[in-house]
Amino acid sequence: MNAPVALAQLQAAVVEFTLDGRAVTALDGETILTVAKREGIDVPHLCFKEGYRPDGNCRACMVEIDGERVLAPSCCRTVQPQMVVQTASKRAKKSQQMVLEMLLADLPETGHKWVDAGGALPHGELSEWAVKEGVSVRPELRALCREQPAPDHSHPAMAVNLDSCIQCNRCIRACREEQVNDVIGMAMRGAHARIVFDLDDKMGESTCVACGECVQACPTGALMPKTSVGTQVVDKKVDSVCPFCGVGCLLTYNVRDNQIISVDGRDGPANHSRLCVKGRFGFDYASHPQRLTQPLIRKVGVPKDPAMAPNPADWSEVFREASWDEALALSGGALSHLRDTFGPKSLAGFGSAKGSNEEAYLFQKLVRTGFGSNNVDHCTRLCHASSVAALLEGVGSGAVSNPVNDVEHAELIFVIGSNPTANHPVAA
């Protein structure tokens, strides 16, 4: 039998050090930048992204450590006992501002990154840090701007604007380490180094699976949703849950003029900010011209002829607009008449997979209590019939009884009749 573990062995070691003149504590192994953010101290950073492996590429987060000759990147440097760190010393500030200015000088004056506050921050996080640090580009530096590469709009969902690339490598880490696709890499050397897809293919011709993780990771707009190219203003952000598969990814819709223009993954237990191609780019149906946005009632005397199925442009020839009260009264009266005339079994309900669990519950309750019928069905009965039968036989329940994360603790996993990498890529 294993000996009991002492509480002290379970507790992480604590490190005490000095940060900007005040004593602070941190867990052993934490970086200076992580502690500074927790203490409310702003240190510029561009290549660092929460949850990603720190790389120290941009050098915007340099800080001064007493007793050391050179500045240190705070995103990579772990704290040590009795360390004395200055994030805003004269040397540190000069270095931070110089890096921001030189990066801005090599970017086009008109950026690609949409922001919440309009075009004042055309280069996203880089412009935001430049404003905070009071950095502007001197004309002599702007004159040294390199020849800018042409944009790549070959991909149906994403635009590549390498004239805004600062080579922070966030997109590479997103593709290679977070999504494990390994499509994006760095080619060439020195001043000629640049981001490439596969063997220097166009993005649209590469093996990209369009998960969009690189777009979300990019701090400057070098990688953008194709629908957002040239868009500079976001009116509002709406938190929601992905309406597609059952993984339950949390996301945020970026809305302009009541139209969804892009989607960001939100940190949730199922996705940790990741999304698949459907969740990130499959939102056009919300503004499709054939989507019903108001109740319609068939005009009197217009027959139900399939040959007369209206196009979105001429629906008014068959239907007229109605209020919700009128539409509900008409449909409720017709359903009640059918139930009273032909009996409850004459009515049935067919639910939609686009609805939430709560909506599905209310729908079946309407059919069972309102119609008095058990004729309620759902499209997943067709695609999940085999798995429901197997679950009933194996565990006694036709529904999933464990969260997806439990596969990490399983000794054996059977995958039968499914392709998780295609159907549930975030969970896979």
Spatial separation of the C-alpha atoms in residues 280 and 252, rounded to whole Å: 10
CATH topology of domain 142-287: Alpha-Beta Plaits (3.30.70)
The predicted-structure confidence for 254-292, as pLDDT tens digits, reads as follows 888 888 888 999 999 889 999 999 999 999 888 888 888
- Residue 300 φ then ψ, to 5°: -65, 130
From the list 48, 98, 95, the residue with the least C-alpha distance to 71 is 95
Weakest mean pLDDT among 81-95, 364-378, 392-406: 392-406
Kindly calculate the radius of gyration of the chain based on its CA atoms and give it in whole angstroms.
28
Spatial separation of the C-alpha atoms in residues 174 and 185, rounded to whole Å: 11
Of all residues in the chain, the percent with pLDDT exceeding 90 is: 60
The predicted-structure confidence for 23-54, as pLDDT tens digits, reads as follows 999 999 999 999 999 999 999 999 999 999 99
Q: Where are the alpha helices (DSSP H) in 59-89?
A: none
Could you tell me if 103 and 126 are in contact, meaning their C-beta atoms sit under 8 angstroms apart?
Answer: yes
What residue ranges in 213-325 does DSSP mark as E strands? 223-225, 236-241, 250-256, 259-265, 296-298, 319-321
Spatial separation of the C-alpha atoms in residues 35 and 33, rounded to whole Å: 5
Weakest mean pLDDT among 1-15, 142-156, 380-394: 1-15
Residue 120's pLDDT band, with cuts at 50, 70 and 90, is: low
Query: Same fold for the domain at 11-105 and the one at 142-287?
Result: no
Give the bridge partners for 350, in sequence order.
377
Amino acid at 135: V
Residue 102's pLDDT band, with cuts at 50, 70 and 90, is: very high
Tell me which DSSP letter residue 87 carries: S
CB-CB neighbours of 337 under 10 Å: 10
Identify the helix (H) or strand (E) that includes residue 186. strand 184-187
Residue 391, pLDDT score: 81
Weakest mean pLDDT among 108-112, 152-156, 229-233: 229-233
Residue 6, pLDDT score: 56
Q: Where are the alpha helices (DSSP H) in 228-323?
A: 277-281
Average pLDDT over residues 90-119: 85
Residue 97, pLDDT > 60, answer yes
Residue 156's Cβ-side half-sphere holds a number of Cα atoms within 13 Å equal to 9
Structure tokens at 267: 């940190």
What Cα–Cα distance (Å) separates residue 290 from each residue in 17, 256, 257, 261, 402? 62, 21, 19, 19, 38
Structure tokens at 141: 């530096």
Structure tokens at 198: 């596969």
Could you tell me if 47 and 75 are in contact, meaning their C-beta atoms sit under 8 angstroms apart?
Answer: yes
Tokens 């459907």 sit at which residue?
278
User: What is the pLDDT of the chain when averaged over all its residues?
Assistant: 88
Structure tokens at 181: 């696709």
Give the bridge partners for 296, in sequence order.
321
Domain boundaries, the chain: 11-105, 142-287
Spatial separation of the C-alpha atoms in residues 299 and 9, rounded to whole Å: 76
Spatial separation of the C-alpha atoms in residues 282 and 350, rounded to whole Å: 24
Residue 134, pLDDT > 80, answer yes
Spatial separation of the C-alpha atoms in residues 84 and 24, rounded to whole Å: 10
Average pLDDT over residues 95-112: 92
pTM for this predicted structure: 0.81
Could you tell me if 156 and 204 are in contact, meaning their C-beta atoms sit under 8 angstroms apart?
Answer: yes
CA dihedral 45, 49, 50, 53 (to 10 degrees): -110
Residue 310, pLDDT > 60, answer no
Spatial separation of the C-alpha atoms in residues 290 and 287, rounded to whole Å: 8
Residue 2, pLDDT score: 47
Could you tell me if 164 and 111 are in contact, meaning their C-beta atoms sit under 8 angstroms apart?
Answer: yes
The predicted-structure confidence for 311-365, as pLDDT tens digits, reads as follows 656 778 888 999 999 999 999 999 999 999 999 999 999 998 778 889 999 999 9
Residue 390, pLDDT score: 81
CA dihedral 174, 179, 184, 190 (to 10 degrees): 40
Identify the three-state secondary structure at position 113. coil
162 contacts: CB under 8 Å, gap ≥ 6: 148, 149, 151, 152, 194, 195, 222
Which CATH code for domain 11-105?
3.10.20.740
